[in-house]
Structure 1
Amino acid sequence: MTPEIWITLAAANFAAYLAPGQNMALVGAATARSGLPGGLSAVGGILMAEFVWTAAALGLTLTAREIDGNVMLALQVSGGTYLVWSGWKVLNSPPSPEMAVLGASGGCFRNAFMGLWVGLANPLALVFFVSIFPGLVSAMAGETPLNLLAFCGTAVLVSSLAALAPYLVVSQVLVRAGQARRLNALSGGALLFVGLAAIAWTAAA
């Protein structure tokens, strides 16, 4: 375990996060509905999902197992379906601009829970942790599982937070400018689009 491997893993995850997608959309929707506390809660839920993905990918790598192709397809379709449902729900629940500016504390747990599930349903995370992640950590197979989890987990979580932070800041600026409803509509539409795209891509594969 070297700093070079940590930086490589963090950079690869950061690059995967830079493309606008469902995580960005959820952060925007949560901020539009519950202000900065809601956005932070959604980010926290997404980071929990990233940790779960890291632990699962490490388990598969250390035991030299691969996900069955049919299981992979089922995960992609179910993840896309959940994103479509989430986007539809966001679009049909317009926020109150006043509550968004003040910060609705009651929705923080709900936003964190949704962040967890959207993070787990992330089709890009599935591809990254199943296809790219094992190659980055295979050279460290001799380390103990807990050391590997701490090493890889910090790289993934720090880079994920760094990639999500700009979206959180921009979302809060838009809410402060009175654009909560537009932000919510864009975020819900993005969730819906990403979910449909994931299902279509899986069907075409």
Structure 2
Amino acid sequence: MKAIWMTMLLSAWLLSGAALAERGPETLARSWCANCHGADGNSVSPLFPRLAGQQAAYLQQQLKLFREQSRSDQAAHDYMWGVAGGLNDAEIAGVAAYFAAQQAKPNPAGSGVGGGMAAGREIYLRGKGDAVPACFACHGPRAEGTEQAPRLAGQHAAYLLKQLHVFASSQRPSAVAMQAIVHGLSEEDLNSLAAYLQGL
């Protein structure tokens, strides 16, 4: 009886291994990523970023940083180190391409963060003083992102604000330029910028 039970367990393990070996990017996105980010990448919780329409190159970079455990912010540690640790380069590229191809849905403007959207627009399009360049120079005129910088349009304001605070530390080592920029902005500026970007 024990031998039969062990054979059944071994068969199930082999079948699950084969299934994982054949997992495609859409299957990964809809089975793993969807729990937090939504099946189409339009997450509803401000705890988790929206991935729909995000730049594929940026998603690949971030997934590799999660896999290497180079991003040390708390959310990266709690949610992404374990998930990304099991992905190979082809799977990372496939998942990134899947979410990049999804349609980004509008995000209700200003929810979760105080007003100041006009001030946020001013910072985004013109910068602030000599220390803070205009955000659109890297992220695009409508915050759609570029090959070098992520899409910010429609992102949850609360998530953006949290990441802007993380940039002020050394927890995201690949974002050295952002560390200097964030130090040139007040808390009111950061709130206004996040609210403006969510509404785009």
Q: One fold, TM greater than 0.5?
A: no
Give the helix-richer structure, 1 or 2.
1
Q: TM-score, normalised by structure 1?
A: 0.26
Q: TM-score, normalised by structure 2?
A: 0.26
Structure scoring higher RCO (CA < 8 A, sep ≥ 6) equals 1
Q: Which has the larger radius of gyration?
A: 2
